Amino acid sequence: MHFHSRTFSYQRRDLLNRVYASSEVRQYAIHRAEELQSTLDPEHPSFVKPMLQSHVTGGFWLGLPSLFCKTYLPKEDEMMTLIDEGEEPSQTKYLAGKTGLSGGWRGFAIDHELVDGDALVFQLVSPTEFKVHIIRANEVGEKENKNEEDDDLDSTRRRSKRIRTGKNCISGFLITLQEACL
């Protein structure tokens, strides 16, 4: 009997160093996504999907809202196209019985560097095509920046609002670089 060792063409993400978004950052990204959704053409149905670890690492399964799927999406398994904001298409497999995206979703998540806390707006522009708008959790407050000199510090602050798991975790709190330097 011959066994093949399993090889992967990608680097596994370090599961011990997963970055979890704080509830504040997650809620702000969802709020911004809902604001964006409210500006979209209502003739094209849409929904907001906050990203969780299971969507962007490990299994890479993306469950979609059941009512949305039953109302607007194909009744059988079908290849769907995800169009990002740069108009780049990605193919993914829609599983009608499970109301979610499977094959191809992993590539989209990795290619777009999606992380826990990001919020996506899916806008159905044709029966098998979504326009996907990405609201980054790590860009909280970026639109409010008025001075380019503050970009590096603000970026550090935003990243510091994420909570790391593992030995260096401070139960639910991380201080910002600015606070640490005071």
Walk me through the domains of the chain, giving residue ranges and CATH numbers: 15-138 (2.40.330.10), 142-181 (no CATH)
Rounded distance, CA 42 to CA 171, Å?
42
pTM of the model: 0.69
Q: Where are the alpha helices (DSSP H) in 18-150?
A: 23-39, 53-56, 66-72, 105-111
Q: What is the pLDDT of residue 54?
A: 76
Residue 24 pLDDT grade (very low, low, confident, very high; cuts 50, 70, 90): confident
User: What pLDDT, in 10s, does the model give residues 63-107?
Assistant: 999 999 999 999 999 999 999 999 999 999 999 999 999 989 999
Average pLDDT across the chain, whole number: 75
User: What pLDDT, in 10s, does the model give residues 132-168?
Assistant: 999 998 775 554 443 443 444 444 334 333 333 333 3
Task: Find the helix or strand (DSSP H, E) in which 46 lies.
Answer: strand 46-50
Provide the total of helices (H) and of strands (E) in the chain, helices listed first.
6, 9
pLDDT for residue 172 is more than 50: no
> Residues of the chain with pLDDT > 70: what percent?
65
Q: What is the pLDDT of residue 93?
A: 96
Torsion 52-84-60-73 (CA) sign: positive
> Residues of the chain with pLDDT > 90: what percent?
50
Q: What is the pLDDT of residue 144?
A: 46
Question: Is 16 or 146 the better-scoring residue by pLDDT?
Answer: 16
